[in-house]
């Protein structure tokens, strides 16, 4: 039996984030891409926000618990950012330094899109994101764009049409979800600040395999340029 080969490491790691409204298929695509990259021999860390560390997962439970329906928008913002600081320090940066590919299901753009749909000022959110994220920036960000109706249908399937299964944020009004989708589209199109070349806007209503193929096409050049 031959000795197993060590996973391939990239010189500076590679940080890829997945964003979008609920039901867009982020978790599905993170799992697929993670498997594909590992089959190609890369060292991969698949993680999520809020979460990714024991403390972050604890904060996640607070954030999505429907019993805290009275959570203040600023409290919510600070909890997302607190979980993120822990995630970056404990998992993301050490993994990138070790040359791994980090796939993250949501990152700070979720805060801009979701908390930006609440009664918080945009500059305040941007400023807090800068403090908490610092130089830990993704090189590639996929926006899996899906309209409200399609996202809700997928969510209904997951919850087996039982509204009591919805978490605190999933219980928001339709207008909230429509606003956050517009926030995402504005970010990806560079309408809320400088145009950032890291964005890739994908139609998440396509079949899973089509979305996965589109993602792979975008990831390949990054692997080639960093190997």
**Which is nearest to 78 in space by CA: 121, 123, 111?**
111
Residue 124 CA from chain centroid, whole number: 21
**Alpha carbon of 81 to those of 56, 194, 212: distances in Å?**
10, 22, 29
Q: Is 123 in the site for ligand Z5A (CB under 6 A)?
A: no
Which part of the chain contacts ligand Z5A (CB under 6 A), choosing from 8-16, 17-25, 91-99, 181-189? 17-25
Q: Is 22 in the site for ligand Z5A (CB under 6 A)?
A: yes
Structural tokens at position 227: 């190997």
Q: Is 181 in the site for ligand Z5A (CB under 6 A)?
A: no
**Which is nearest to 48 in space by CA: 12, 100, 84?**
84
Cis bond leading into 50, ω under 30°? yes
Q: Is 25 in the site for ligand Z5A (CB under 6 A)?
A: yes
Q: Is 19 in the site for ligand Z5A (CB under 6 A)?
A: no
Q: How far apart are CA 221 and CA 219, in angstroms?
A: 6
Size of the site for ligand Z5A (CB under 6 A): 27
Q: Is 114 in the site for ligand Z5A (CB under 6 A)?
A: yes
Q: Is 95 in the site for ligand Z5A (CB under 6 A)?
A: no
Q: Is 100 in the site for ligand Z5A (CB under 6 A)?
A: no
Q: Rank residues 158 and 189 by Cβ distance to ligand Z5A and give the closer one.
A: 158
Q: How far apart are CA 102 and CA 52, in angstroms?
A: 11
Residues that bind ligand Z5A (CB under 6 A): 20, 22-28, 49-50, 64, 80, 105-106, 110-111, 114-115, 154-155, 157-158, 169-170, 207-208, 211
């Amino acid at each position: 039996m031959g000795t197993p080969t060590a996973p391939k490491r990239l010189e500076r790691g590679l940080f890829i984030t997945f964003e979008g409204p609920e039901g867009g298929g982020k978790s599905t695509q993170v799992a697929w891409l993670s498997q594909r990259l590992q089959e190609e021999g890369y060292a991969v860390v698949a993680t999520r926000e809020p979460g990714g560390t024991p403390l972050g997962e604890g904060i996640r439970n607070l954030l999505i618990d429907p019993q805290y329906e009275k959570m203040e928008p600023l409290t919510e913002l600070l909890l997302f950012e607190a979980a993120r600081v822990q995630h970056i320090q404990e998992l993301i940066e050490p993994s990138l330094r070790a040359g791994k590919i980090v796939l993250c299901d949501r990152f700070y753009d979720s805060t801009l899109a979701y908390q930006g749909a609440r009664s918080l000022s945009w500059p305040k959110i941007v400023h807090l994101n800068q403090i908490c994220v610092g130089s830990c920036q993704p090189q590639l960000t996929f926006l899996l764009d899906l309209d409200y109706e399609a996202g809700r249908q997928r969510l209904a399937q997951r919850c087996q049409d039982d509204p009591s299964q919805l978490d605190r944020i999933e219980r928001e009004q339709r207008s909230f979800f429509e606003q956050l989708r517009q926030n995402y589209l504005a970010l990806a199109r560079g309408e809320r600040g400088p145009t950032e070349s890291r964005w890739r806007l994908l139609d998440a209503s396509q079949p899973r395999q089509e979305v996965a193929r589109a993602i792979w096409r975008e990831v390949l050049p990054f692997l080639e340029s960093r190997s």
